[in-house]
Amino acid sequence: MITINPDLYLGNIVRTRIRLARNVADYPFKIEDYATAREIVKKVNRALVRSDTFNLYYVSNLTNTTLESMKERHLISQNLIENRECGAVLINQDESISVMVNEEDHIREQCFMRGLRLKEAYDRITKIDDDIAKNLNLAFDQNFGYLTACPTNLGTGMRASVMMFLPALTESGKIRALVQEVAELGLTVRGLYGEGSDAEGFMYQISNEITLGVSEEEILAKVEQTVLQICKAERDEMERLYVKNEILTMDKAHKSYGVLTNAVILSYSEFMSHIARVKLGAMLGMIEISDINAIDDLIIKVRPANLCETYSKRLSSQNRDLFRAKIVGATLTKIKE
Amino acid sequence: MITINPDLYLGNIVRTRIRLARNVADYPFKIEDYATAREIVKKVNRALVRSDTFNLYYVSNLTNTTLESMKERHLISQNLIENRECGAVLINQDESISVMVNEEDHIREQCFMRGLRLKEAYDRITKIDDDIAKNLNLAFDQNFGYLTACPTNLGTGMRASVMMFLPALTESGKIRALVQEVAELGLTVRGLYGEGSDAEGFMYQISNEITLGVSEEEILAKVEQTVLQICKAERDEMERLYVKNEILTMDKAHKSYGVLTNAVILSYSEFMSHIARVKLGAMLGMIEISDINAIDDLIIKVRPANLCETYSKRLSSQNRDLFRAKIVGATLTKIKE
């Protein structure tokens, strides 16, 4: 793997996520027994004491809003939420690491980082994985590698994914051909919330599909190489679609900024379509916002459940839209130079 | 006629216009002879010297842009523009009075005033008409009244029209029934630029259709009464549609304000749809603009030919949209409290 500047393609590459699927040897994948499930949670918790400061949450103790907000931040999956009785998650202070217990697999370790930082994220999650392996006997086969509940995760148990912002390839329609090409490489392109979800706000996840018969390093290298190629294609297309139509692109960015800073109510989807235009304008230097990361953070912050979490109460849909408009307006006004 | 506060229904009643059609006796309605046509222009010009300070413009001396911009300000008609050789117009300093010569009729006298000022406008144009009658022998028949080129203007030769802003009746669809009811009263509802033109920006002209067999006072009373009834209906509908949906209405007004104050390019139609929302918000006190008249003035100022007149040059369509965005942004920022 080449060492690249993680801020290369800033804006286009939002986040890196590495996920490892692990199971405890000598247990069935689907644990029906509450005591055993709790035992695994405790062992994982004990294993992680030396790694970092983690908070342990049992699904059964959390409100639906909190669970939903964690899911919006990709810290937990729908699968974990549905395992109400046995599911748990360990999350570190800055939310860069989450370890789900009793999800589809017994253990799912995740590391998140800004930008394209596959190697760094992999190294960090490997340390977590090593600590867990010291305390728990993980199901591993010399031929197959790590054993997982679903055969698609067998082998490395690893999914390396990169969240990308691809407005030009989307608007030119070239994304369709790209999805096919990427599939031929054994990778997949999904919307923001996994399989079947839409690519709202021009956001996509690129990840490896194949986990068996390849090394972790090979997966990381292939994902990185593909992401960089997509970025190159996106930048060429941005040049053709937006830079060459500078005034039109600038106009759309500024009008969207005007809507977002003046709105009284703002649904998430209306927000997403406008913030994408603002982000694009900022990336192209057409609107005076240099902190692209602040825009990406805002996108997470104003998701429905996260909004409710911030205001510690159940908000009606209309009140959510009122609060969203306030937060978005204040944030954008603050980050504009 | 009742004396009403001319600022009643401020915002809904934009402008009053009174037009008188007059012809010189013993000449054919359609003058083909250049010398005769010029003679009439000179006589009208001489007649008006005592009335006010008028500028005399010959159509043949004006550029297409200037003619178009005068038409946008309703000072001249398409009919006058088409009489390139013989047409002329006299316009006073504040553009409240224009007298077209060699239009469809030999003389068409117009007076414009803000708000609902039918009586005042009629009194002012009558003084002009008296001065003209002193210098020219006008075609008048004891039975028919003033003789006009088109029989629809026979009699008083008068058209009294009021420009109205009717968003609620438009959005509720009730305007359609209203147009029919008004027709039964011998009045007519048209779009902003006369017959067949669209009601862009929720703007309509209400005027009398019948000129024969009724007195000027009767026409004025009927137009005024109808306009007040429409205003009442509009205000009721505004209450129902907008005041009861306060947040939604405020949101639309503020988003439109955001678009107009941040736009880089602005077509006239995009401007019109947003300014209508801003005006509505201002009328309802939902957006901090107290000078509704400034909004109505802006609507005239940024029409395509008027923009070109302001910048004294031929602007490409794209440059017009750039200038429009600048003027609109600056004006709205200035008038917001």
> What chain B residue is nearest to A319 in terms of C-alpha separation?
B247
Query: Would you state the pLDDT for residue A314?
Result: 74
Query: Would you state the pLDDT for residue B328?
Result: 97
CB A163 within 8 A of CB A203: yes
Residue type at A199 in one-letter notation: A
Q: Would you tell me how many other CB atoms lie within 10 Å of the CB of residue B186?
A: 15
The per-residue pLDDT for range A99-111, each reduced to its tens digit, is 999 999 999 999 9
- Asked if ipTM goes beyond 0.90, one says no
The per-residue pLDDT for range A290-331, each reduced to its tens digit, is 899 999 999 999 998 998 888 766 778 888 999 999 999 999
Closest Cβ opposite residue B255 in set A254, A259, A318: A259
Please write down the HEC assignment for all residues of B284-307.
CCCCCCCCHHHHHHHHHHCCHHHH
User: Under an 8 A CB cutoff, do B255 and A263 touch?
Assistant: yes
Count, in order, helices (H) and strands (E) of chain A: 12, 10
Maximum separation of any 2 CA atoms in chain B, in Å: 64
Query: Would you state the pLDDT for residue B168?
Result: 95
Closest Cβ opposite residue A255 in set B247, B250, B262: B262
Query: What token pair was written down for B5?
Result: 């506060």
**CB-CB neighbors (< 8 A) of A264 in chain B:** 247, 250-251, 254-255
For an interface test with A, give the residue of B250, B254, B317 to mutate (most A CBs within 10 A): B254
Q: Identify the helix (H) or strand (E) that includes residue B57.
A: strand B54-58
User: Under an 8 A CB cutoff, do B258 and A254 touch?
Assistant: no
Query: Would you state the pLDDT for residue A191?
Result: 76
* Distance of alpha carbon B80 from alpha carbon B77, whole angstroms: 5
Query: Would you state the pLDDT for residue A312?
Result: 64
What's chain B's Rg over C-alpha atoms?
21
Could you report the average pLDDT of every consecutive run of 10 residues in chain B (337 residues)?
Answer: 67 96 90 89 91 92 94 94 93 96 95 96 96 93 91 92 95 91 91 60 92 92 96 95 95 98 96 96 93 93 89 79 95 90
Query: Would you state the pLDDT for residue A89?
Result: 97
Average pLDDT for A4-14: 80
The mean of the pLDDT values for chain A is 91
Examine the pLDDT at A194 and tell me if it is beyond 60.
no
What's chain A's Rg over C-alpha atoms?
21
Q: Identify the helix (H) or strand (E) that includes residue A225.
A: helix A216-238
List of residues 6+ apart from B151 with CB closer than 8 A: none
Query: Would you state the pLDDT for residue A316?
Result: 83
Of A195 and B245, the one with more pLDDT: B245
For strands B13-22 and B107-114, give the pairing: antiparallel
* DSSP secondary structure letter of residue A24: B
List of residues 6+ apart from A4 with CB closer than 8 A: A116, A224, A228
Task: Give whole-number Cα distances, A94 to A57, A63, A313, B107, in Å.
Answer: 15, 21, 23, 81
User: Under an 8 A CB cutoff, do A247 and B260 touch?
Assistant: no
Examine the pLDDT at A250 and tell me if it is beyond 90.
yes
List of residues 6+ apart from B68 with CB closer than 8 A: B81, B304, B305
Query: Would you state the pLDDT for residue B312?
Result: 64
Measured at the CA of A288, the angle between CA A287 and CA A293, to 5 degrees, comes to 95
User: Under an 8 A CB cutoff, do A254 and B263 touch?
Assistant: yes
Please write down the HEC assignment for all residues of A157-199.
CEEEEEEEECHHHHHHCCHHHHHHHHHHCCEEEEECCECCCCC
CB A71 within 8 A of CB A81: yes
* Distance of alpha carbon A256 from alpha carbon A271, whole angstroms: 9
Task: Give whole-number Cα distances, A207 to A160, A163, A189, A222, A223, in Å.
Answer: 5, 9, 7, 10, 7
CB B108 within 8 A of CB B20: yes
* Distance of alpha carbon B85 from alpha carbon B73, whole angstroms: 22
Nearest Cα neighbor of A167 from A10, A288, A279, A6 is A279
Instruction: Tell me the pLDDT band of A281, cut-offs 50, 70 and 90.
Output: very high
